[in-house]
Amino acid sequence: MTQPPVIAGKSMEGCVMLALSTFRRSERAIDVAIEKAREIKKLLVVYVADSNLARYMVDADQRLFGELRESVEANVLEKHEKEGWEHVEEIAERAEREGIEVKTHVQVGQFAIICLEAVKARKPSLVVTTRSQRPAWVKRFFGAPVDELIKGASCPVTVV
């Protein structure tokens, strides 16, 4: 189910890249990406099953230790990766009905890192994403992965 970390394969240079994750799901972002991809006829959908999800859930219960904790984290991430594939497949089917070539990538990890790898490997002309709904203090203290993507991308990033 998991693709390799390096996003390889047929060139999608100049495509529109839609960047989603466990915490970043937006019908409006999907609409915008497909609208932009209609002109180019190429869409790359990258979905990150955010590794922080398991940490948030498991860290909430300090009674979990060792192998049990790792097992719970792995199960949570596996479930969200599977849900990510289902979501990406729905988006791909929708875009393909409109005559858009679609490539998909789902991976467990950190949003900004995986998206920047995809930008480097696939060279999109535009990235469309959305922000997660987190308290302002969390963003100030830990930073915002979308801001990292904006800073590091070699193309414009539209945040819906």
* Residue scoring higher pLDDT (54 or 160): 160
pLDDT, residue 2, reads 43
**What average pLDDT does range 41-66 have in this prediction?**
71
pLDDT, residue 57, reads 52
Which residues fall within 8 angstroms of residue 87, CB to CB, at 6 or more apart? 20, 25, 47
**What average pLDDT does range 60-73 have in this prediction?**
60
Mean pLDDT of all residues belonging to the chain? 84
Q: For 89-102, how does the pLDDT look when each residue is reduced to its tens digit (9 = 90+)?
A: 999 999 999 999 99
Residue type, 108: V
pLDDT, residue 44, reads 97
**What average pLDDT does range 73-98 have in this prediction?**
92
pLDDT, residue 131, reads 87
Of the candidates 18, 19, 7, the residue with the CA atom closest to the CA atom of residue 118: 7
Q: What CATH number matches the domain at 16-159, 2.60.40.420, 3.20.20.140, 3.40.50.300, 3.40.50.620?
A: 3.40.50.620
The proportion of the chain whose per-residue pLDDT surpasses 90, expressed as a percent, equals 60
Antiparallel, parallel or unpaired: β 157-159 and 101-109: unpaired
